[in-house]
Amino acid sequence: MIPVNKPYLPAFEKYTKYLERVYDKAWLTNNGPLVQELKVRLEEYLGVKNLLPVANGTLAMQLAYKVFNLKGNAVTTPFTFIATSSSLAWEGITPKFADIDPLSYNLCPNKARQAIDTDTTAIVPVHVYGNPCDVEAFEQIGKEHKVKVIYDAAHAFGVKVNGNSVLNYGDASTLSFHATKVFHSVEGGAVIFKNSDDYERAVLMTNFGIDTSTGNIVDAGINTKMSEVHAAMGLAVLDDIDQILSHRIALYEQYCDGLQSLGYQPIWRSHATKNGAYLPITFKDDIQCTQVLNSLARNGITARRYFSPSLNLVENFKDQYAAQCPVSESLSNRTLCLPLYYALSSEDVSLIISEVGKAIYANA
């Protein structure tokens, strides 16, 4: 059986060495020394400043929205995991869907610009599969319309554009450190703010709005803190991150070479690095996609329709604007993510490519 994903587990001895430090100090949460160390090491590794570790990626998005006091609606993509939209709705912000670019599968800047109205306070693009958005275009749109640009960068750990971390774009970027991600802390996430003032306000908000230097409550807040136990896993995984990325990228490239005649993939942003987060393949139609999905399952290989359905068609997220997103709707019906994770071998990838080919040619 080959699952679609499998979390990376560092050597148990390495993890327990970090846990020993937790036990020695009996400091389990409230911005402990391991969380502080993880913050510093992540900022250095990723090439960013103002990184705030939090309990999970969804809370990372909600915290960013609160820091910027977003209201009204936010223009976003329907081709993403539901958390991008549900985090907005949870904060009383209406997701306003705009269609995606047919080549990159990311939110189309022109469609996003057209969707902005007087109630729009933010644009929330997603770096889908880790593929960077047209960040320059969104920067310009944000300035023109005086709206915040907040990136859901859950898939984009370690990705750079023109030598610069993709996390440095926008007013904020959010990461997920869920167990299925390239880098994880079992559960966790982070927000990276462009401005230090926004970061400092977020630090207060993540601890119930309490100024720890005085004990005074200075802002409305919530508890989004990462625990020391989760930070321990993050540090242990971060120790191995270069070999994790190297292996995943090698498997990604092997897939790309082997699948060329069987389907197509998003066009990767020029001058951008890859991180091997996902392996999407798009087929000619929904019928072929379903045939491949079912054939792989019969042979013990799990693939996933990721992302399906297009969120503008989900009943709870059908916005008042009745968004029409034909590109997203089409791609969501024809796209699968194939297995990709550190424990996967080159031989496994060859087998999966072979089985995809058999499924297509058997039904040709």
Domain segments of the chain as ranges = 12-239, 241-362
DSSP 144: H
Q: Do 12-239 and 241-362 agree at the fold level?
A: no
Strand partners, 107: 100
Q: Which helix (H) or strand (E) holds 338?
A: strand 335-338
Cis peptide before 309 (omega within 30 of 0): yes
CA–chain centroid gap for 312, Å, is 19
Q: Give the pTM.
A: 0.96
Opening angle at CA 362, ends 359 and 364, nearest 5: 105
The amino acid sitting at 4 is: V
- Per-residue pLDDT of 33-77, as tens digits, reads 999 999 999 999 999 999 999 999 999 999 999 999 999 999 999
Find tokens 């929904």 and name the residue.
286
d(CA 93, CA 128): 22
Q: In terms of residues, how long is the chain?
A: 364
Architecture of domain 241-362: Alpha-Beta Complex (3.90)
Stretch 170-195: mean pLDDT, rounded? 98
Please tell me the CATH code under which domain 12-239 is placed.
3.40.640.10
Catalytic residue among 66, 181, 194, 274: 181
Q: Is 181 a catalytic residue?
A: yes
Sign of CA dihedral 182, 1, 346, 13: positive
- Per-residue pLDDT of 304-315, as tens digits, reads 999 999 999 998
> In the predicted model, is pLDDT for residue 319 greater than 60?
no
> CB under 8 Å to 283, separation ≥6 — which residues?
263, 289, 292, 334, 335, 336, 360
The two structure tokens encoding residue 54: 């939090």
d(CA 148, CA 338): 34
